[in-house]
Amino acid sequence: MNHDPKDSDLMPLDLSYLDASKAPKERTAILLRQMTLEEKAGQLMQITCMKADPRFEDGKATGWIYSRMSDEERHAWVISRHGGSFLHVLGEEIDLIQSLSQQTRLKIPVLFGIDAIHGHALHNGATIFPSQLAMSCSWDLEGVREAGRVTAKEVSADGIHWTFSPVLCIARDTRWGRVNETFGEDPYLIGELGSAIIKGYQNDNLMGEDSLLACAKHYIAYGESTGGRDSYDSQLSLRKVREVFLEPFEKAVRAGCATVMTGYQSIDGTPVTANETLVRKILKEELGFEGFVVTDWNNAESLVTQQRVAADLLEATAMTLRAGNDMFMNTPGSYEALIELVRTGKLDEAYLDEAVARILLTKFRLGLFEKTKAKVEVANEAHLQANLELTRKSFVLLENKNGLLPLDKSGAKGLKIAVLGPNADDVKAQYGDWTFFSHPFPKDEPAKRPYYTMLEGIREVGSRFGATVSYYKGCDIMNSEDQQIQEAVELVKTADVIVAVVGDCLDQNGEFKDRANLDLSGAQQPLLEALRGCGKPLIVVLVNGKPLSIPWVKAQADAVIETFNSGMFGGLVLGEILFGETVPSGKLSISFPYHSGQCPVYYNQLPGWHGSKYMDQPMEALYPFGYGLSYTHFEYSQLRLSKDQYAIGETLELEVDVKNAGKLDSEEIVQVYIQDLVSSVMTPYKQLKAFKRVFIRAGESCAVTISIPTTEFYVINGEGKKVVEPGAFLLMVGPDSRDQVLLKHQFEILK
Ligand code: GLC
């Protein structure tokens, strides 16, 4: 129903908000004061043309039923309901909707958003980078920033203005379905990588034609839900939220992130979407966030239908806006609700004005009224090269017994490589979540080239050295009945080396897909054991969305390479690493458990656990945070500090000698951890506070210097305040988070 007042009742328009020479704040004020209530309500709506209604089976949400909005409905959303934003629109529909927006009274352009979270991956043919989890193992801030830049150019070329990225969730329970979308388990590393990709997306000046609005999500502590259960409640105090989860968002705000998304989850019984303390007070007032907040998918209505903290959509809509959210993602009913709430005096129109102002200010800052599509060819040579370089830095060598790898290039002529496993030739598994395969709805369209599956990459690089490659899938990844193990054993009889590519698949990662059992699924384990029994060198390659509990692989494989979801060039890089054309330099951004029952197994644990371990599991992680091998090895010595006592606010300067004691040039990721030896609240055994990726030639040594402001050594005290407490600290520097490899030096913060 159209509530709009007749144009004749309205004042003549002051069109000076269209004057691009005016400051964004001035343009916002001029436009806002001329808007009707309906136009304001429309600006707060983000609409999807692809309707996805949750599918319930015996009362449980088990997925989505997809249907397409009719042309008339879509037209009505732009013309009669003044829709301010659409998401997941691609192709000519973007131009159609945008041209409709220019037929409206105020001609406010529609803001298009999409989940371009590892490249413009919903666009088949664009540059598809490694997933966030994969790229985070590069610890390469410049490479991650460049991935953001490339993504921004390719998304902007489609006429889309906003990506719902980066995910700043902290993946501390790997049973959670969305671990693949995160930068791992550490707040500091996530904050650094998140800031880097935000700067890549938004460029230095949002006004550039290829600048893209970033979106820090999912605010806040999503993924910390009890039991790793997606969107469930987490038992966190506000102090704990500040201590562990706020840092990445603080850094995102400091990096100028244009938008923030509130997640589905609840904290201690209050949905974050309805939590005014977290959204309005902490994010907007305390951190000074000036952009706008968008809810996740239909969060407002979930307050009624799922979390039952609102009796109806009217109440939920008012609650959502009052809490500090500005835009409603896919809660169409909130349009009428907003109008009715204001008309009946139940909601002060000032709440709408604040939200509309933030959205309009962002649109003006982006230059949306003047913006044209970036003229760039997707997946051009420069973009592909940036992808390849980041992928090369993202792989993690977890085992290399007796120096099996790299395979000897000079002797590779006639080398027979048998490649097996369900993920050896599966681009869908390799791409992971949030690609055209999975969104805006699941489909199986063939992926456009270029890309290399693991098999194709081994063939490509192996052929350069005369190796021959045979392949057999050997088993299914989910169905344990579906196995051809005898045939697999037959195949490897004539092989010189076995490469088994295992892991998980798209059906085991993402929303609604938490796992209680992190073991290799299907018949992967029996396949591996049969291959081990053939007595040939066994290289296991992991293609997976999250750490899996693979103690047998660690014990029995001769070499293990973690690739996670490695994007277009994963196979090529694997081939390069197998033959030593690329030296592996990645380090884990997330810990692996021996057993899913060991979760959470993150490295920065608090002290106090009686026995520090489960009776039936080792104390340490299967593979710890920060861990990764190389084809060379680095020796750390002579850790020294500028001084041993610091006033609060001074900067600690450290230097450590790192020697490349091997035969191959490579990069090393030097990591710096601290422990607060006595604190007013318990603090972790160690916390990452700095890192540096350094290139060191074979045989050479490098004095690595790193500075850390002592303000970084804060605690969140019992009153929830961020304070640096004087006293003794332990500085630890080394190649990963294991105590036994870290150089240690005590220092003091003075009163
Ligand atoms: C999804 C996700 C969120 C995504 C949004 C739009 O449900 O939770 O990360 O950005 O909806 O696709």
Per-block mean pLDDT, blocks of 10 residues, the chain (751 long): 68 94 98 98 96 83 84 96 96 95 97 98 98 98 98 96 98 98 98 98 84 98 96 97 98 98 97 98 98 98 97 98 98 98 98 98 96 90 98 98 96 94 98 96 94 98 97 96 92 97 97 96 97 98 98 98 98 98 98 97 94 91 98 98 96 98 97 98 98 98 98 97 98 98 98 90
In the reported structure, the alpha carbon of residue 359 is separated from the centroid of ligand 1 by a whole-number distance in angstroms of: 19
Q: CB within 8 A of 522, min separation 6: which ones?
A: 422, 475, 476, 477, 478, 479, 480, 482, 483
What is the CB-side half-sphere exposure of residue 710 using CA atoms within 13 A? 26
Global model pTM greater than 0.95: yes
* DSSP three-state, residue 741: helix
Q: How far is the CA of 216 from the centre of ligand 1 (A)?
A: 12
Cα dihedral 554, 555, 559, 564, rounded to 10, equals: -10
- Separation of CA 8 from chain center: 49
Q: CA 326 to CA 43: how far, in whole Å?
A: 9
Tell me the angle at which helices 381-392 and 141-157 cross, rounded to the nearest 10 degrees. Answer: 150
CB of 602 closer than 6 A to ligand 1?
Answer: no
164 lines ligand 1 (CB under 6 A): yes
Strand 651-660, strand 701-709: pairing: antiparallel
The end-to-end CA distance of the chain, in Å, is 66
Of the residues 182, 296, 438, 514, which should be mutated to test ligand 1's pocket, given the most ligand atoms within 8 Å of the CB?
Answer: 296
Measuring CA to CA, how many Å separate 691 from each of 49, 86, 138, 654? 44, 39, 12, 12
Beta-strand pair 701-709/634-641: unpaired
Q: Dihedral, CA atoms, 77, 79, 80, 85, nearest 10 degrees?
A: 40
Q: Distance, CA 49 to ligand 1 centroid (Å)?
A: 15
Helix, strand, or coil (residue 299): helix
Which atom belonging to ligand 1 lies closest to the Cα atom of 440? 12
Say yes or no: CB of residue 297 within 6 Å of ligand 1: yes
Q: Is the CB of 576 under 6 A from ligand 1?
A: no
| DSSP symbols for 177-192 | TTGGGS--S-HHHHHH
- Do the beta carbons of residue 704 and residue 635 sit within 8 Å? no
Residue 719 CA, ligand 1 centroid: distance in Å: 34
* Tally of CA atoms within 13 A in the half-sphere of 678 that contains its CB: 5
Q: Which residue has the tokens 């090529």?
A: 572
**DSSP readout, 412-471?**
-TT-EEEEESTTTT-HHHHH-SSSTTTSSS---PPPPSS---HHHHHHHHHHHTT-EEEE
pLDDT at 3: 61
pLDDT at 10: 77
Give the amino acid at 139. W
Mutate to test the pocket of ligand 1, among 164, 260, 509, 512 (most ligand atoms within 8 A of CB): 164
Q: Which atom of ligand 1 is nearest to the CA of 164?
A: 10
CB of 296 closer than 6 A to ligand 1? yes
The CA–CA distances, whole Å, from 191 to 165, 195, 459, 619 equal 13, 6, 38, 28
Q: Which residue has its alpha carbon closest to ligand 1 atom 1?
A: 297
Using the structure block, give the residue that is written with the tokens 């990726």.
693
Confirm if 664 and 583 have CB atoms less than 8 A apart.
Answer: yes
The Cβ of residue 373 has, within 10 Å, a number of other Cβ atoms equal to: 14
Q: In residues, how long is the chain?
A: 751
